[in-house]
Structure 1
């Protein structure tokens, strides 16, 4: 049931064009916090991080993680979303653990580890963000496990000749790499922080 709801959501959240008018508004309170956990979403990944090192989901177990699929040439939705995640993390209570943020590139043709490393160094993004890329096959497998949609779209206005349409969901994974809840790119940072705080473990004293 949850997977059908998620797929339906993706239809409404695909595109990486000029959506500034659409994404500038707040979504208001999100009724997603306790009702969208699933062991079916967020399976294995075999990718490469921004330092060129291979990583799997095992490298992120033992802590909560925020996962977002995007790409470095994304003109607006991706930086907007990563900034919203950054704002949400800043609003978390001081006594809870901060989740690790992970951006998985859906444009491995252009997004080399070096390029991703430069991209994620943006001061407006989460401080500890990890960027992942990989082969076309490995990226496709990761996206499939997260029910994340993406598709190449020809774009003559781009120097590369194409852009990427993609879903823009934000996944909160627990310490076992299982989905606890998800947000949209329109979710307000305060709502995201409040929801995440209800799941996150307290910091060790």
Structure 2
């Protein structure tokens, strides 16, 4: 009987300690595949450039008539909240329409949302098939060309990537981003 009580006490203690600690997010564990693309300033950005940094990724395109404007506004809001909290995280928006989204188009698009380009990269410089493979492998996210509507179907999540280049969490990036949770998770990865 004492052994059962002791095991029960240990289990309760372990649960309490886990709940009270600053545990790192571990919802996902997907390694990002190596890449090197160009950003809105035509500078090369690679996975190696992001090594050691916490970053948040999403997928958008400039001609999007549905979710992208809202997602980009939400990412701009996240950027402001990260800045206000003094948290250093890089934002990376991958274009899912690279044939039309050249660096100038991406820069113009993000400028409409008051993006701060010191820590926000909008990437292009690949084919649709390349980004499709990359998104499927590195983020396990949906992506497809909708030829009937001349649009791209893609996921609407924000993805948190740890300093080792592993996706550790995803959040709603469209209708109700959990900003406080994202900031808490970023903070835990920066420790």
Give TM-score, length-normalised by structure 1.
0.68
Structure having the higher helix fraction is 2
Structure 1 gap ranges (5+): 1-32, 157-161
Which structure has the higher relative contact order (CA within 8 Å, separation 6+)?
A: 1
Kindly indicate whether residue 185 of structure 2 is the aligned counterpart of residue 198 of structure 1: yes
CA-to-aligned-CA distance 1:75-130 (integer Å, 9 cap, x gap):
23112012112223433485542311111011112111111121121235455321
Q: Is the 8 A contact 1:83 1:126 kept in 2?
A: no
* Residue of structure 1 in register with 2:160 after alignment: 172
| Partner residue, 1:119 | 109
Task: Indicate conservation of the 8 Å contact 1:96/1:202, yes or no.
Answer: no
C-alpha distance in structure 2 between counterparts of 1:62 and 1:101, whole Å: 14
User: After the TM superposition, which residues 22-37 of structure 1 pair with which residues of structure 2 at under 5 Å, given as runs?
Assistant: 34-37=25-28
User: May I ask how many residue pairs the two structures share in their alignment?
Assistant: 165
What secondary structure, in the 3-state scheme, does the structure 2 residue paired with 1:197 have?
helix
Number of the residue aligned with 2:169: 181
Q: Give the CA deviation at 1:51.
A: 2.2
Superposed counterparts of 1:8-157, under 5 Å: 34-38=25-29, 40-92=30-82, 94=84, 96-125=86-115, 128-136=119-127, 137-144=129-136, 145-155=138-148
TM-score under structure 2 normalisation?
0.73
C-alpha RMSD over aligned residues: 2.8
Q: Shift of the alpha carbon at 1:193?
A: 2.8
| Equivalent position SS for 2:111 | coil
Preserved contact between residue 46 and residue 138 of structure 1 (Cα < 8 Å): no
After TM superposition, give the deviation of residue 44 of structure 1 in Å. Answer: 1.7
Q: CA deviation at 1:45?
A: 1.9
- Provide the rounded CA distance (Å) in 2 between the counterparts of 1:93 and 1:121: 17
